[in-house]
Structure 1
Amino acid sequence: MSDLLSALLLGILEGLTEFLPISSTGHLLIAQHWLGTRSDFFNIVIQAGAIFAVTLALRQRLWSLATGLGERENRDYVMKLGVAFLVTALVGLPVRLAGWELPETVTPVAWALVIGGAWMLVAEHFASRMPDRDTVTWKVAIAVGLAQVIAGVFPGTSRSAAAIFLAMLLGLTRRSAAAEFVFLVGIPTMFAASGYAFLELAKDGKLGSENWTDVGVAFAAAVVTGFVVVKWLLGYIKRRPFTGFALYRIALGIGLLLFLPAGN
């Protein structure tokens, strides 16, 4: 397979999985075992493409919040977004500085997929028994921030899944409202994480050896695919539960454990 086709497939995969509750990091770790390992810069760029995609998909909501700060409800919502982001930054930065590295084997990712899928089924069950609510509380905002850090430490967990289902269990039971809040928090969180990683690479002089054609193709693929996925998902979960995603995670994780028992 050519490097350009590999880059295209990885960009599409990032766009498909970044916001679905199935773990983009886990899927990329797995895919790169077959499509070839890419540089940290490449991974940062395709993640930036996914961030740009969700920013485009939620641009009307972002604009309404920015222009509606005179309304108490919008100010309250924006402050809770800020708190969730600050929690992620204050807890996640020490983890980053401590030198935490993602695993290079598939086995821990496979277990995270299975356990995360089971967690989703349990959370969906209990959340469905609670009253339908779309109000973001301060407790939910703090929990969403913490969930993003946990997902970053355990690849395969899925940032969106961990945050959405924790929010639902804490009272934000309307799926679309929980997903929208998590996606909006993810915009500054992932921009900050990508920017920090980019500066680290620039400082270490690791930006000069990239194939910019591959990077550009992957970025564009992540933007287009991510935009379509976010728009589709926000409509899908208004009518259906997350059960299908949970079952997919469990099936994929079990398959990986069976066919890659040594953690290759």
Structure 2
Amino acid sequence: MDFFQALILAVIEGITEYLPISSTGHMILASSFMGIASDPFVKFFTVAIQLGAILSVVVLYFKRFFRSLDFYFKLVVAFIPSAVFGILFSDAIDALLESPLGVAISLLVGGIILLFVDKWFTKTYIESSDEVDYLTAFKIGFFQCIAMIPGVSRSGATIVGGMSQRLSRKAAAEFSFFLAVPTMFAATAKKAYDFYKEGFVLTDEQIKLLAVGNVVAFIVAMLAIKFFIDFLAKYGFRLFGWYRIIVGGAILTLMLAGYKLEIV
């Protein structure tokens, strides 16, 4: 992977991590299109640069993260389902990460769901993420498990999960952002452990690529979060639903036409 390819992946991570369009799905597809998906370092890079995206949430919501211990306990409770699910089904999840076809189907199905979400959940009782109780946080955590299927979108699943518990769109989005911090940190830590357990050692060039990737992902993610919160409050999910359908449909069309989009 060269500098330009790392830059592209970092921009994609920053844009897609907090939008309901699946960052993992886009990273899989982008690396596959560029012909670098089989590189073990690329697989590590796509997870490691999530740290930059994590930091963007902490910076934007700095005061919320240092308000009370109760805030952290709720995030831990919401994180538990995906942590348990990830440990029990890690091999199956890794297998799914190798399938562009699965990403395309998930994008399509998720897109169709997003077209109707705003009509399904119209009554809201919780207008602030601070009002989320422990049971609600735990329930939202189960929706995050669905996002382990590449192409589903972690943010999309948890926001919809929050809305199903009568959170407003803004409150659900903010809680989703906060929940991303322990979730993405744990995923990055596990990937780093697996990377070194297999005997891989980062070169100086790879360390530079990781540094640049995290900085770019941090900056782009901050801009994406600000855009998304305002856009979601005004217009809802419909545009994101159509985007997912178009992208998923385009990928399926290419694959049916014989285009080789394989990850080995």
TM-score by length of 1: 0.87
221, 229, 232: which one aligns with 2:227: 232
Residues 14-60 of structure 1 show CA distances to partners (whole Å, capped at 9, x for unaligned) of: 00001100000000111012222252321222122211222222212
107, 126, 133: which one aligns with 1:133: 126
Structure 2 partner of 1:246: 241
1:55 aligns with 2:50: no
Aligned-partner SS, 1:205: coil
13, 19, 44: which one aligns with 2:47: 44
Structure 2 partner of 1:11: 10
Residues 144-184 of structure 1 show CA distances to partners (whole Å, capped at 9, x for unaligned) of: 211222211x1000001011112202211x11100111111
Aligned AA (2:65):
L
Verify the 8 A CA contact 1:124 1:165 in the aligned structure 2. Answer: no
What are the residue-to-residue correspondences of 1:203-218 with 2, within 5 Å?
A: 203-209=197-203, 211-218=206-213
Verify the 8 A CA contact 1:123 1:169 in the aligned structure 2. Answer: no
Aligned-partner SS, 1:217: helix
Structure 1 partner of 2:74: 80
Aligned AA (1:217):
V
Deviation at 1:99, TM superposition (A): 6.9
Verify the 8 A CA contact 1:20 1:160 in the aligned structure 2. Answer: yes
Q: How far, CA to CA, are the matches of 2:214 and 2:24 in structure 1?
A: 16
Q: How far, CA to CA, are the matches of 1:131 and 1:181 in structure 2?
A: 15
Deviation at 1:212, TM superposition (A): 2.4
Q: How far, CA to CA, are the matches of 1:182 and 1:219 in structure 2?
A: 20
Q: CA 1:161 to 1:98, structure 2 compared with 1: closer, same or farther past 3 Å? A: closer
81, 85, 89: which one aligns with 1:91: 85
Aligned AA (2:230):
G
1:145 aligns with 2:144: no
Residues 225-254 of structure 1 show CA distances to partners (whole Å, capped at 9, x for unaligned) of: 011111221222222211111110011111
Aligned AA (1:101):
A
- The runs of at least 4 aligned residues of structure 1 exceeding 4 Å deviation read none
Verify the 8 A CA contact 2:9 2:46 in the aligned structure 1. Answer: no
Structure 2 partner of 1:160: 155
Q: How far, CA to CA, are the matches of 1:45 and 1:89 in structure 2?
A: 18
Give the superposed CA RMSD: 2.1
Q: CA 1:103 to 1:88, structure 2 compared with 1: closer, same or farther past 3 Å? A: closer
Verify the 8 A CA contact 1:42 1:215 in the aligned structure 2. Answer: yes
TM-score by length of 2: 0.87
Structure 2 partner of 1:177: 171
Aligned AA (1:204):
E
Give the gaps of 5 or more residues in structure 2.
Answer: none
Aligned AA (2:73):
M
Q: Percent of aligned positions with the same letter in both sequences?
A: 33
Structure 2 partner of 1:223: 218
Q: How far, CA to CA, are the matches of 2:125 and 2:242 in structure 1?
A: 24
Structure 2 partner of 1:72: none
Deviation at 1:139, TM superposition (A): 4.2
